[in-house]
Amino acid sequence: MSTNKHDHKAQADHEHNCHHSGSDPAGADGEYDRVPAGYSGTVYTCPMHPNVRDVRNSGCPICGMALEPEGILVGDEDTSELDDMTRRFWISAIFTIPLAIYAMGDLIPGRPLEGLLPAGWSQWAQFALALPVVLWGGWPFFLRGLRSVRTMNLNMFTLIALGVGVAFVFSLVATAMPGIFPAAFRNESGDVAIYYEAAAVIITLVLLGQVLELRARSATSGAIRALLELTPPTAVRILADGGEEEVSIDNVNTGDHLRVRPGEKVPVDGEVIEGRSNVDESMISGEPIPVEKTIGEPVTGGTVNGTGSLIIAATRVGDDTTLSQIVRMVAEAQRSRAPIQNLADTVAGMFVPAVVLIALATFIVWSVFGPDPAMAFAIVNAVAVLIIACPCALGLATPMSIMVATGKGAQSGILIKNAESLETFEKIDTIVVDKTGTLTEGEPRLVTVEPIEAFSETDFLSFAAAIERSSEHPLAQAIVKGAEERSAARLDASDFGSVTGEGAQGRVNGKIFAIGNAKMMRRVGALDEALQARAEIYRKDGQTVMFAALDGKPAGLIGVADPIKDTTPEAIETLHKAGMKVVMLTGDSKATAEAVARQIGIDEVHADVSPEDKNRIIRELQSAGTVVAMCGDGINDAPALAQADVGIAMGTGTDVAMESAGVTLVKGDLRGVARAQHLSRATMSNIRQNLFFAFVYNSLGVPVAAGILYPFFGLLLSPMIAAAAMSLSSVSVIANALRLRALRL
């Protein structure tokens, strides 16, 4: 078994900080990619900026936050960043609390701390307490702030480093050389104010904010960690001599026979070769009802076996299992950027420089027009502006909601490939669906066999099955299965060839046999009007009819019926209630397609279409102003899935379809489309709430910190209060995003 999934840290193990000040330099391809060609070790990247890649955790050159491994890991969460910030917070708090109490001793009734220290020692004592907090506790912030200036990617650490640095250095100069300050800096008693407690409290509160954010952020990845933990660590392998051995899941290979006892988790994807049981697939599909599994049925790794015993043959192991692919898709989606984040980027691009200018203007206005000591007021208010304006909440608004939503979707059987698909889904007003495998079971049955007089039914089926054995289409498999059930002789075909959207042909017993739709018959010159008329009768009953030709002459027709899924009528009704128009695109005949449409209430039908036609029709719908989602499950649906505003693949379909789609419904149930849109609308509403909180917070916080309320109410905002508000604003955004975990889908 491949062990790649054990080599990297979980997507859940994200360290968070805040968003950078400028727009993501996506156009600078390779500028921040420092991974050498051919490098095979762990690659680190920034969760906010996937274009940043490095071979070591050197920190993001754009936003300053720590990098993390690109891959995923089954195992314990990496908490090194949280542990470091927690340690810095508690040690800083030990020094900050007595410093803050002593500095604000005048506010304590009776002033019990007055005279506690000899004259001249007070300021140096405060310096001694503040020094380890600012230099050690705040060291990561100063490093990131310096780097931001050096690279001109201004971010929250620019403001923190500038604000705290100004307060601390000013206080140190005032302590060491108070005589150099003019009267404007001095209070009524002639002393120069110092701000050691403000610098220390700001650092401690920012550290607290980091700790709270990291813990809250970890909670956003609970869904993916739950998925990662589904795989059991071991499996019971059946040996060639009939014995059994317990082996690590890493040592399971494709083709191994594994025993799954009652109540155990299925170790890998496989196929049942012995036994019968009901398997709980709710953790992957979101469906609560266990699914019966018998010989020949597929089982998915991570699902839970019921009361029966199963022996399975491993078909997909390691990174190829369904669960590994789900985890990988969720991880990639959580790192992707939604278009709405461009709004935050645009604002943030101008935000930090604007804040620095506002802080400078605040200093000038207070130093000129403020009350005595004017310069002291100027410094305090300028620092408060710098601290409260950190754009942390603004940067968190979108990615936090995306992370929670993609995890929630994965738990409900809705796999979202990227954030753009999640955002666009909200606007969908037209759902385009394939018929076979999407609206229907995708396991059609042979119903009608009508050869020409020169052919017996069994000979006719023998020729047809010989051609269709080389095809993977569900209709082809139905013909093969039907031929076997009717005891038709098995023949072999050579020179097989297929025409996408038309049919297939080959050589059987030295003769050219072709089977397909009317286009195929026209291609081989065997289109027969009488057979077409017969076909229309069967199509009105919902059968899919294929024509056959032998050496360029009509040979008969075959009718296959594909039953409608039990859930399809409910799904169509739900989509209609959500205000969506449902359009069917199918390569099947018009009569068959319309028969199905009538039964389930499809709004518009396009039949007998090729993959190119599907792509063209979707473009036409888009040109008419509709926002289109396409649901499909086959290779022939891939171009349409890629063209649609959002492609939705059925998890029961082909890998090509799932690669082309932005959303995958694990269960292949069309009802998942309505659930996906509900998730999209809830997520976008959550993001807008977060952005509103962030914008309003900064819009109101900066003027208050600058002292706009002082002339009217005598109110000023302490830098310490500003630091607390800044930290709590980020936590409030994360808390709002976490509400999505309670969403009912």
Please identify every residue annotated as catalytic. 434
Neighbours of 274 (CB within 10 A): 14
3-state helix, strand, coil in the chain (%, to 5): 50, 15, 35
- Is 391 strand, coil or helix? coil
535: Cα within 13 Å, side-chain hemisphere = 24
How far apart are alpha carbons 191 and 375 in whole angstroms?
12
Neighbours of 577 (CB within 10 A): 9
Phi, psi of 733 (to 5 degrees): -65, -45
The tokens of 447 are what? 């119903």
How far apart are alpha carbons 515 and 586 in whole angstroms?
18
Under 8 Å between Cβ of 159 and 726: no
How far apart are alpha carbons 53 and 50 in whole angstroms?
7
Beta bridge partners, 280, equal: 304
- Is 418 strand, coil or helix? coil
Q: What angle do CA 98, 104, 109 make, to 5 degrees?
A: 110
Cα diameter, the chain:
120
Write the single-letter amino acid at 574: T
Is the four-CA dihedral 143, 146, 152, 157 of positive or negative sign? positive
Strand pairing class (430-433; 581-585): parallel
Under 8 Å between Cβ of 697 and 722: no
> By C-alpha distance, which of 607, 602, 595 is closest to 580?
602
User: What radius of gyration do the chain's Cα atoms show?
Assistant: 34
Q: What is the 3-state secondary structure (H, E, C) of 185-247?
A: HECCCCCECCCHHHHHHHHHHHHHHHHHHHHHHHHHCHHHHHHHCCCCCEEEEECCCCCEEEE
Under 8 Å between Cβ of 683 and 663: no
How far apart are alpha carbons 602 and 451 in whole angstroms?
33
How far apart are alpha carbons 471 and 480 in whole angstroms?
10
Under 8 Å between Cβ of 647 and 660: yes
